Amino acid sequence: MEGQDSLANMRKAVDALASIARQLYEASEDFPAVNRNSKRVLASVEMLKINLEEA
Amino acid sequence: MNREVPYWNPYLESLTRDSLERLQLKKFKRILTWAYTNSVFHRTLYQDGGVHPDDINSLDAVRRVPKVEKSMMQPIQRKDPFPYGDALCVDLEDVCVFRQTSGTTGQPVYQPDTWQDWEWWSDCWATLLWAQGYRPSDRVFLPFGYNVFVAFWAAHYASEKIGCETIPGGVLDTKSRILKIQELQATALMATPTYILGMADTARNQLHLDPAALPITKITCAGEPGALIPATKKRMEEAWGAKVYDHAGATEIGAWGFECSSQPGALHVNEAMFLAEVEDLETGMPLTEPGQRGKLIITALDRFAQPCIRFDSKDIVEIGEDRCECGRTYKLFKGGVVGRADDITKVKGVLLAPSAIEDVVRSVQGLGNEYEVIVDKKGDADNITLKVELAEDMADAAMAELKAVLATQLRLKTNLGYNLEFFPLNSLPRYEVKARRFKDLRKKER
């Protein structure tokens, strides 16, 4: 099993990823290629959150 | 990446029971609150049952939440937001994929998923494939005609997610599929047990090829319980010279259970993603002791577009021992899904309700009222015959047309192909009480 420090660091990285993906998504209303791809990234980021969710 | 790691998710799959149950309760409250807030169907159900998400503060309290059955979903669909109706919890524009149940228990239930839900579906499948030894070096062949049913779609995406080279073996006949496996040197295969055995027969009898000589090392089964029936598993493993593994899932639920590479004769419940309760068939009381058999009530903890909360799966399961030598802390169901709570049976991996056949027979002009359905086995494959009476004599051309209409309707309503036999009126048996029109001859062979 991953150590607690390692899990905490991964969770931080996922939060940072979510923030950047959200920023891209919100900035791309008139840019479908970026908007739709960043939306998919956000879906993957949610799965990362589920995979690392703290009990 | 370290391919020797035995778990897809080393963190979740080895949580202590206390941590796992804490996570399940946290997730259950979240999905319950989500459904209560976003679905008219769920909110009404819970308000009528006198339950508010804030009241659910223990796993024992979960039992206060009203259950959902498939029959409750059918009448709310085909309405706005079309076609999902009041259980939809997201904007229609966020739905990226449509699936439906087979409809053998009545009208099909439509299942919407968002990209996020689909990521979750494929992750649940990736969990089971990794547990069964699938790695990026595998070349995976899926001999299945993907369609509106969820079968093998998530398996395909999970195989891609793991990094396996994934071969869609859809609209090929059985011989072509076997030759493609040979040509591409595929190492893994996924199909129903019936089809796995049928492929082996075809390889031997029509291609004069020993399937065990092919490079397949592992086979994942779905759709039927055969992979956890010892004799069937043995027959498949001997035929293919490969390890055979089971899994369990459903369109409305997700892929909730899997056999690991330790082959404990049981399915692990993916408890980080699902809350599985077992209740007594007669009293509805919770069962928790190894050896007890009951009905599975299940919640998908992370599926949001159309939540699955305390869903009455009708699956019968037996609680297994606590631990498996694989080291996962997830609970086990011995023998997998060991039966169904209703009288529905599986033919060729498809759930079949006799009432669905009757519905078709009696809706086709030119047919009499009486019919008989016989399910048996030809070799290792299921075989289903429908004997039906004609309402009146008819010319060959009209008969051929009628046969085509009947075959099409049966395929549409039951997702199965039949051997059709026509008889003159009043020639099939008549029954005064409790008609026995459905004869499953496979049961005698067990």
pLDDT digits (tens, 9 = 90+) for B64-80: 999 999 989 989 999 99
Query: Closest partner residue to B115 among A7, A43, A55, by Cβ?
Result: A43
Please name the residue of chain A whose CA is at the shortest distance from the CA of residue B7.
A1
pLDDT band at B341 (very low <50, low <70, confident <90, very high): confident
pLDDT band at B345 (very low <50, low <70, confident <90, very high): confident
Show residues of chain A in contact with B115, CB under 8 Å: 39-40, 43
A40 interfaces chain B, CB cutoff of 8 Å: yes
**Domain map of chain B by residue range?**
1-342, 350-445
Please name the residue of chain A whose CA is at the shortest distance from the CA of residue B6.
A1
Query: Has residue B389 got a pLDDT over 70?
Result: yes
Closest-CA distance, A17 to chain B, in angstroms, reads 16
How much is the mean pLDDT over chain B? 91
Q: Which of B43-52, B231-240, B251-260, B289-298 shows the lowest mean pLDDT across its residues? A: B231-240
Q: What is the pLDDT of residue B343?
A: 56
* CATH architecture for the domain at B350-445: 2-Layer Sandwich (3.30)
pLDDT band at B340 (very low <50, low <70, confident <90, very high): confident
CATH 3.40.1380.20 fits B1-342, yes or no: no
Cα dist. B236→B190, B191, B193, B228 in Å?
12, 12, 8, 11
Percentages helix, strand, coil for chain B, rounded to the nearest 5? 35, 25, 40
pLDDT band at B438 (very low <50, low <70, confident <90, very high): confident
Residue B150's CB is within 10 A of a number of other CB atoms, namely: 24
Query: Has residue B26 got a pLDDT over 60?
Result: yes
Q: Give the DSSP H/E element, type plus range, for residue B158.
A: helix B153-162
Provide Rg for chain A, Cα atoms: 13
pLDDT band at B218 (very low <50, low <70, confident <90, very high): very high
**Residue B112 β-bridge partners:** B98
Query: Closest partner residue to A51 among B9, B14, B20, by Cβ?
Result: B9
Cα gap B65→B46, rounded to integer Å: 7
Q: Which of B128-132, B148-152, B351-355 shows the lowest mean pLDDT across its residues? A: B351-355
B26 interfaces chain A, CB cutoff of 8 Å: yes
Query: Has residue B226 got a pLDDT over 70?
Result: yes
Query: Closest partner residue to A47 among B11, B26, B119, by Cβ?
Result: B119
State the angle between helix axes of A32-52 and A4-26 in degrees (0 to 180), rounded to the nearest 10: 160
Using DSSP's 3-state secondary structure scheme, residue B143 falls into coil
Interface test with A, best of B1, B115, B275 (most A CBs within 10 A): B115
Query: Has residue B156 got a pLDDT over 70?
Result: yes
Q: Which residues of A7-39 are buried (b: 16+ CB within 10 A; e: fewer)?
A: eeeeeeebeebbeebeebbeebeeeeeeeeebb
Q: What is the pLDDT of residue B273?
A: 98
Q: What is the pLDDT of residue B443?
A: 65
B19 and A55 within 8 Å at the Cβ level: the answer is: yes
Cα dist. B139→B132, B145, B263, B374 in Å?
14, 18, 22, 38
B302 and A40 within 8 Å at the Cβ level: the answer is: no
B114 interfaces chain A, CB cutoff of 8 Å: yes
Q: Which of B88-97, B194-203, B215-224, B383-392 shows the lowest mean pLDDT across its residues? A: B194-203
Q: What is the pLDDT of residue B433?
A: 39
Q: What is the pLDDT of residue B432?
A: 45
Concatenating the DSSP letter of every residue in B64-121 gives GSPPB-HHHHGGG-SSSSTTTGGG--S-GGGEEEEEE---TTSSPPEEEEEHHHHHHH
Q: What part of B 239-258 touches A (C-beta under 8 Å)?
A: none
